[in-house]
Every structure is written in structure tokens, then in C-alpha cells.
Amino acid sequence: MPPPEHTQTRSRGRCSHTKGHDLRPMFTWEVKANDRTYNNQFKEKAFLCWQRRKYKGNIIHTAKYNFFSFLPLNLYEQFHRISNSYFLLIIILQGAFPEISTMPWFTLFAPLICLLLIRAIRDLVDDIGRHKSDSTINNRPCEMLVGERFLHKKWKDLHVGDLVRLHDTNIVPADMVLLSSTEPSSLCYVETADIDGETNLKYKQALLVTHHELTTIKSMASFQGKVVCEEPNSRMHYFTGHLEWEGKKYSLDSGNILLRGCKIRNTDTCYGMVIYAGFDTKIMRNCGKIHLKGTKIDRLMNKLVIMICIFVVLISMALTLGFWSKVTEFKTKHYYLLRMHMHSLTIESIFILVSFVILLSVMMPMAMFITAEFIYLGNSVFIDWDVEMYYAPQDLPAKARSTSLNVQLGQVGYIFSDKTGTLTQNIMTFKKCCINGIVYSPEQENICEENPSLCNLFADQKLLFRNSKLLSIVHTNKDNVVREFWRLLAICHTVMVEEKDNQLLYQAASPDEEALVTAARNYGYVFLARTQDSITVMELGEQRVYQVLALMDFNSIRKRMSILVRNPEGSIYLYTKGADTVLFERLHKKDMYRKKQIVKAATEEALTSFAEETLRTLCLAYKKVEEDQYKEWNQRHQEAKILLENRAQALHQVYEEIEQDLQLLGITAIEDRLQDGVPETIQCLKKGNIKIWVLTGDKQETAVNIGYACQLLSENMHILHEEQIIAILGAYQETKNNLPQVEMAAMIVTGEFLDQLMKSVAAPVLQNKDSNTPQSPEVWRERTFVELACRCKAVICCRVTPKQKALIVALVKKYKKVVTLAIGDGANDVNMIKTADIGVGLAGQEGMQAVQNSDYMLAQFRFLRRLLLVHGRWSYMRVCKFLRYFIYKTLAIMMVQIWFAFYSGFTSQPLYESWFLALFNLVYTTLPVLYIGLFEQDVSDEQSLELPELYIAGQKDELFNYWVFFQAIIHGTGTSLVNFFMTLWISHDIIGPISDYQSFATVMSLSGMLSVTMEVILIINYWTILSVLAIFFSLCFYIVITRASQSVWLFTVSPTTFPFMSVEQNVISHPYVLLVIMLNVSLNTLPVLAFRVIYQALKQLRLKEEKEEEKEEVGEVPIEEMAEVPRARRSSYAFSHQEGYADLITQGTIMRRSLGFSKYSFDDDRSSNIDFV
């Protein structure tokens, strides 16, 4: 918000005398009121020679697809997956060469259609949700000026230049210039919690010329003013332009603009002119685009698919060379049989190559991808069904809005969280106070015999702070310090009051102010009314009117607020409240009595105690001002107020003069209430090696205080402020050494600092260590800053815009290659949620924008702990185990085809029965892998929460990576070698039950089936009746389907389709064959079991040795590379007040005449001067 002097200038409607040719090059956005024809004439280049309207309508579309684009665009996205393109290629080969295809084309085509359909339905459901959200927003009602009447229209009907009427609690539909309002001086109060997360009210003010001229609907209908301003941009708190009307120009800034998404508060009616609509509005410019999110495992699988494709092609080529050699040798020895070869050797080799590619294509089974989709869906349903994440007060369960990101929930390395509404409840409560060195804490209701409300008709029943000892002191009215303490809280503020339903309602610029004034109200010091130059207070039943002589406003530099008043007895007093760091410097130091020294020490001790409890503190002090001193000071004050240059600096100096030699009264402690379980959740996540950054639009003091409250920051942390960060980066730039070790440090920066850091041009062009390509200064700054920030234990970014939030997330993704999660509850978090790998929206009080753009919905921040440590870790573990086992069992069966090729003359003849090949992954082994993917647990959910260290395995990709993939290949290859060559060796040169091709294939099928079944038995940790049934039914499916496909009846119906007649039944009737199968299964199982037992034993031994080494190193003091600064007492000051309200009060701008307040029976001579807001 602009400083007060700017506000004053703006409210006067200062006419700009700058010539048009000076401003025209800067401002290229021209919008004329009530003239769509004029506005529609502006065009912009869209594509080649085609132009479109420059000014967008107010309708928004955030969905990815429409009716016509869904099918082509979705297919385009799906075939960007390497696996889908690979399967399509195989299907084309099967259809093009049916005579050499080992399986009918439809055996692969049907599963591919199924896979594409599943994913298309999932994408369609997600996009339908976006369409519904867009429709809800676009069809919100508003009042638009049409002719000479305001008609009810919808948001989507608005265009730039339209005039809109808004009422209290209405949401602003587009970025508008405020023209007038029903408040004094056309003020308009807005709540921007949905934009920047701040709950304190902000004020906007119309130009004085429009305030006076646009007083009727007729005058608004004839209004032809033109706004010339900057192009649409994402800078939320900046605006530059001017209004051209009747030959004059009036400057405009952000104080005249109502932003889309703001809520009108405490303003009956206001009028505005739309200047930016739809996607041109600042909030939409900050929302970002929809990103196609994928998982790390998906990206790894794409690479593995390419590797498998290359492997299949290379193996097929090698086997084709074998075929070439065999045929050449055969033709040489048997020249008389050349007529059997109808094609040339080259053509036959090409056919054999294609045939091998088709045969070995099952090494990358489509069933794995289909099963994975069901696993993702099932784990999403489990999130929806989890009663531990159900929030009863709002009847809100957790909701997985995306089904494809569950596995990535188990790999999160960084969490980026909003503050207001995400970590906090947005509720300020008066928790404790210290008066004259004595701390007063709230008592239990059964202990506190006296309730303040019993003797105070004005008491607020919602205030829970009750202390019988303090109440007794207040009622006796003998302790001057206690009296002045509560009097200060009732006088020194900018709160406004109004009557509603015979009750006092306070309207404060910040929740802190309201909590303090309400506490004074409950203890008998009731703020009743204020005028431009007076404040009326009811003190213990006695009405007193104080004359306001000066109101010295709070700002972020002064960190205090003061009021100079003349009491009814004629004495002048100065009351001041602010940060302990600034007030303690201004206390009276000369001839301080020992008692005062003791009180100051006790107060400092209370401040330390309150800081440890993470309460927000304000120090209170006052002094009596002599009449002569006031007159002398007031003269300098009046001179400073009328200065045209350096007014703010002069006023600051004058305030400094009077705010000296204060007497300490005490301190207040306000609790910015956190959501339940936030500190425990953050501590647990930090143990899981998850770093948490807080990105907020709030002020630094309040953000830091919340950082301590939620245990993100601790007292032993070294805080890196902006000056230190610049020094560290500068030293690193000069020395080219490594960045310092800052393990026990936290970084606190502002959005302005981030802008300056990224725009700086001082950094040199450095060489990349890994390449000869020089890094640009921008890349160097980004990389170095991110590296330093990521070494800190915690990072807090204050006063950041939505776009800056997304930028920070993008930088960490870019340079750290980690999985990021963003969580928030407002529209200001949407861009961050879209940018992060995983977006979590909290269903809070700020609307549903965050939820509608998120991947997961939660009701409370504390549920994030269970979402990640339980559901996320389980999903990651299940999918990794599922993938490894699926790759193993596929290779264990299909690698046999390669070994068999050496004994079949490289003719690409399939070894197995075609039905076994088609049904092995789809039916015979589906249930066990589904169980692993849906129900497998290595530890229970309680143990997952108690041992967050288990989560680190997902961050390091330990359960599935290239090494695990090659392990599965080696394991599957070993199983296939044992099954094939042991069976071949035993049956070699022996006439028996497995001496023919079909019997041998059946033995291989049984050996492979039982070997992979034994493997799944070994790897399942969580045994239930479902796991037993899954394995049992899998074996039953194999037996029943094999018997059916090898039945005599089917053979007689179609001998070519069912050639294996009763083979399996004949083979297993021989004990000799059963022994061969048991030998194969034993050789595949026992060595693997022994290896795993030995490996686990060695692993446990290594862990014990590491723990002993850590114990030995505990006594060693680490060498810190950063010089530690002796830590002073931490100030827990935090105040979310906004500068500017004091000037509005003292100028009378904010005042409006009340209709009366007869309930309190003021004296006529006093009440006549009292206004209520």
C-alpha cells in the first residue's frame, strides 16, 4: 500500500500536467468507459497475418480439452509414452505379416485399446472437473451498467470498459479502477486473503474527481473517461496509469485498483470500471499453466522401455544372423532341397527378423501397464477411504484428484507451504500478559470464580482469557500501572466500531488489533467510539472522552504506534505500543529506581518465556507530557506535516523526539493459533529428511513467529538474513571455493530480495565444472542461491507474489532434481500448486481455487503426514516391488524363447503354447501382482508414522532404479537358464515323457509358473487371507484353463488353434517329470533365499557398526565454517497492522455519521460529536 502522503495526494484527485507524448510510449493499454466499440478496435497479432481482439473477455478456460480436441490431443499425449508407441508398432507388424506372426494381432490390440481407454477416461474425468469449476466461476452474478440501469449479469459477460456495481461481501469479478463508493471519500475496504494470504483489511480509494462527479447512475452512464495504463502483468502490488477525462489527466496507482478475487468488506456499495478482464487480470497472470505431471518412475520406465526395445532388436538381429548361418550351411549340405525355399535368403531373413521382434515383444508386457493403472486407482481409493484423514467438523474426507501420482508421494524431498490458512487458523487470541513485571496467565474455568462478563455488559463471551487475580486488581482500581495498561489498549489503535443488533462490533485493520481491544473491553476498558479528534472509552462504567492530539501510525520501520491524548482532566499522555527491540531503547534510563530495574528484568524474562511459547508480543509504555513540551513539539509536528518533500522522513524524526523517556507498562502475548498437529507434523516430516519451505505473502515478523511456533525454526538455528546471504554469495564469487556448511541455519528472504538477486548483473560468467560451456550470470545466481538455500534446515520467503512462489518451486526442481510438493489453500497458491510435482489443496475458508487445481485435497495440514509417510511410502514400495517382480517373471518365462531358438534352427518358432503366452501375464499371474500393488506392507501404518526415517528410501530411489532393474534381469535370466537347460540336460538322449516338443514346452511352462509363484511367496511381507487366495486362484486359473485349452473337444473343433491335446495331463502323470519340475523350482528358489538371508545379516551388522561409529563421534565438536554471532534474546514481536489508517482517521476521511447509539445513553453534549463506523 502507498504511504499516507501518497494517499492524501491521490484522494485529492491531483491533475497530472504531464504531456501526452511523454506518457504515451510507456502506456499502451487504453480502455474507454461505456464504449465497447472503441475498445474492440484494438487488435493484436495472433498468427502470421491473422489478428484478434487485443482485450480479452472475462470468461476463463482452465481445462485442457474441449469436445473437438479431446480425442486427437489425448491420443497425441498418450502416444508420447514410448511404451504405447512400441505396442502400436508391434500391432502393425502383426497385421502386416500375419503369416509370420507368432500371435494374432488382436491379442495385443485389445489390451492396448483397454489401456488407452482407461487413461483417457481418467483424463476426461479430471478435465470435466475443470470445466465445472470454470463454469461456476464464469456464471457468478454481478451488476453491470447497461444503458442507464444496473442489470444482473454474469462474470463472463463483462468486458473492459464496463462499469460494475459491487456490494459488501461481493467478490471482485475483474481488475477495476475504483470510481466511487458509499463510504466517506469513496473509500473501499477489501480482504485479499485469497490473493496474498493476508487477513487484515486493506483500503482502496477513488479519485476525488470521480468521487464528486459520479454520484448518480445517470452520471455514470454518461461517463466517457479513458484509462491509459501499463500492459497486463503479474505484479500484484504495482499499477501505473492515468485517467483522461474532460481534457485532464489524473494519476492512478495500485491504491485505486480493485483486483479480481478480492472480497469487498465493510463497504455498502462501490462502483468500478473494468480495465483488465479474464486472463489479463493480475491473479490469472499469476495462476500459471497446466503442467502435464509425470512421476520419476514413469520417466525411468520410459528410458527402460527404450533399452528393452533396443535389446529386443539387437537380440532379434543376432538370432537372424544365426538363421542366416544355419540356412547357408543347410543349403550347402542339402543342395537338392533348394525348392523348399520359395524366397531369397535376404527376404527370409527379414521375415525371421520381424518374427523374432514380434515373438520377443512380450518381454515388455502390456499387462504390466494395464495392471499399474488399476494399482494407481486402488491406492487412490484407499486415500479417499482413510478415516484417519477425515475431518469431521467440516465433513471433509481426503480426496485423491489424480490417480497417477501416488507413487511420487513416497519420494517427496521438498515441501513448499503457504502460511495463512495452511499452517495457521487465522485466529488471534489474547493468551497472556505481563503487567509491571507480573505475568498473568489464563486460569481454568473452575478455578476462576469471577467471570468478567458478569459485571460488564460489553464483554465478549468468546474471549477465553480469564484471571481472577488480575480481575480483582482491575476492579479495585488502585494499581495505576494496571489501569494505564488497559487504558492504552483501549485508546492506542486504529479500530473502528459500529452497533449491530445492540452489540458492539469492532472492525480492525488486523486481527491483532481486534484481539487487544477486545481484551481491554472484557476487563472493563471498553472502546465505544471515535471521531477525527477524539476517542470515547467506558472505563469501569465511567464514560471518558479523550482528545486526540496526534496519532503516530505504525509502519515496518518504526515497528511501533503511538497516540498523544488529552484526558478529561486536561493532562497530556503519550501511549506507545510496539516491538520490544525499539521500545526498550526509548525507556527512561536516568535515575532508574531499583524497583523499575527489577520490573524491566522481569519483563525481559517474560518476553523470553513468551518467545519460547511462540506467542506474538507487543510492549506497552507511556509517559506524561508537559504542556510546554507539547506546544513546542506540536509546532514542529505541524511544520513537518505540510512539507512537500521528505515529509515522511521529517515526521519520523518528529515522532522520535516525543517517543523518548517512556515508562514501561508491560507486554501482551497473542497466539496466532496454528492448525491442530502442525508442529508434530513438521517435526515428523523433518525426521523423514523432507525439507519444508514456507512461502507467504505475509510480513516477515509474522512469518518468522509462525516458523518458531510450528517448530520449523529453533532457538539454536543461525538465521541467515539478506545481508549475510549477499556476503556469502559475494565471498563465493571472489574465492571460487565451496559454499560454507550451514547445516544448522535457516534462510529468511523477501520477494523484493529475490527480484534484486535475479536481476543483478554483478555476477561473473563462470565455467561449469562438468562442461566447457560457460554459465550465464543468471544461471550462476540461480544455481548458487538454490544450493545455499537447500543446505539450510528451513527457508522462509516473505512478501512473495504467486508468481515468485512458482519460480522458487521451479528453481528447486531445475537444479536439485528432487520431487517437490506444494500445499496451500488460496488462489495465491494455485501457480505454486501447478508448478510442483505434486499439488495439495486445503479445503479452507479462502475458497476452493487451490483444491480445484490440486492433485490431492486435504482438510488439515496435519493429514499431510499420513498422506506421505503412510500412503505415499506404501504406494512407492508397492509399485517398486510390483515392477521388479513383473520384470523378473516376464524374463523368467520369455528368455527361454531365446535359448530355444538355438535348438530350433533360429526359425522363431515359439516354445510355449500360444494360449500360455497370451494368458500368462493377463490371467495366470495377475492376482498376486495386484495384491502386491494394492495391499503389500513392509510395516504397519503406525510404525510408518513412528519411523519416518523409512521414508528416505523413496527419496534416494533405492527400491527401483537401474541397478534394481538389472538385478531383475539377471534374476529372470538365471531362472530361465535353470529351467531350460536343466530340463534339456535331464531329457537329453532319453526317450521319455518329455522327449517331444509339446511335452518339453509343458514342463517349461509348469517350471516357470511354479518358480515365479515361489518368488512371489518369498517377497510378500504382509500375509492375509487375500494373499493366500490370490496365489491359490492363480494356480487354479492355470490348471483349469490349461485343461480346457488342451481338451480333446477343442482340438477336434480347431486343431491349429488348440494343438496341445491333453499334453499337460499326460506329462504330470509321470513322477519323473514332477521330480524335474521340483528340481528346477528348488534350484531357482533356494540359492536366492540363501543369498537374501546372508545379505540381510551382513546389512544388520553394517548398521550396528555405523551406529557405534556415530556414538564415538558424538563427543567431537564439528568445525563451523561460518562465524557464529552471539545470540541475543529473540524478539517475538509480530504485528500484522497496515500503515495508512492513522492518516485516514486524523483527516476525517474514514469517518461517517452514525444514526445514533441510544443504548449507551451518552450525554447530549458529548454524543453530538461522536461518529460510529
Catalytic residues: 418
CA dihedral 1016, 1017, 1019, 1021 (to 10 degrees): 130
**Cβ proximity of 891 and 972 under 8 Å:** yes
3-state secondary structure of 679: helix
The amino acid sitting at 601 is A
**C-alpha dihedral sign at 421, 424, 429, 433:** negative
| Cα distances (angstroms) measured from residue 365 to each of 309, 360, 893, 1031 | 12, 10, 12, 20
Which residue, among 461, 535, 1170, has the nearest Cα to 527 in the 3D structure?
A: 535
Integer distance in angstroms from the first to the last C-alpha of the chain? 22
For cell 442507464, name the residue: 148
**Are the C-beta atoms of residues 138 and 155 closer than 8 Å to each other?**
yes
Query: Who contacts 523 (Cβ-Cβ below 8 Å, separation ≥6)?
Result: 452, 456, 470, 471, 474, 486
Contact by Cβ (8 Å): 360, 315: yes
Strand partners, 572: 566, 625
Q: Which residues contact 970 (CB under 8 A, 6 or more apart)?
A: none
Q: Which of 1055, 1057, 1075 is nearest to 1067 (CA)?
A: 1075
Task: Quote the CA–CA distance of 531 and 1153 in Å, as a whole number.
Answer: 10
CA torsion through residues 988, 989, 990, 991, sign = positive
Task: Look up residue 779 and give its amino acid.
Answer: V
Q: Half-sphere exposure (CA, 13 Å, Cβ side) for 278? A: 15
Q: In 136-247, where do the E strands start and end?
A: 141-146, 149-154, 163-167, 175-181, 187-191, 202-205, 226-229, 240-245
Q: Are 975 and 1011 in contact (CB under 8 A)?
A: yes
- DSSP states along 131-156: HHHHHHHHT-EEEEEETTEEEEEEGG
The Cα 627–Cα 773 span in angstroms is: 73
Strand arrangement, sheet containing 263-265: 202-205, 187-191, 263-265
- Helices first, then strands: H and E counts in the chain: 42, 36
Q: Can you read off the three cell numbers belonging to residue 210? A: 470521480
In degrees, rounded to 5, the angle at the alpha carbon of residue 979 between the alpha carbons of residues 976 and 982 is 130
Cα torsion angle, 585, 588, 593, 595, sign: negative
CA 1102 to chain centroid: 38
Q: φ, ψ for residue 469 (rounded to 5)?
A: -65, -45
List the Cα angle 1084/1087/1092 in 5-degree steps. Answer: 115
Q: Taking the mean position of all CA atoms in its chain, how far away is CA 463?
A: 33
Residue 752 · residue 834 · CB < 8 Å: no
Reported as type and span, the H/E element at residue 795 is: strand 794-798
Residue pointed to by grid coordinates 485493520: 509
Across-strand partners of 272? 164, 178
Cell of 948: 519416518
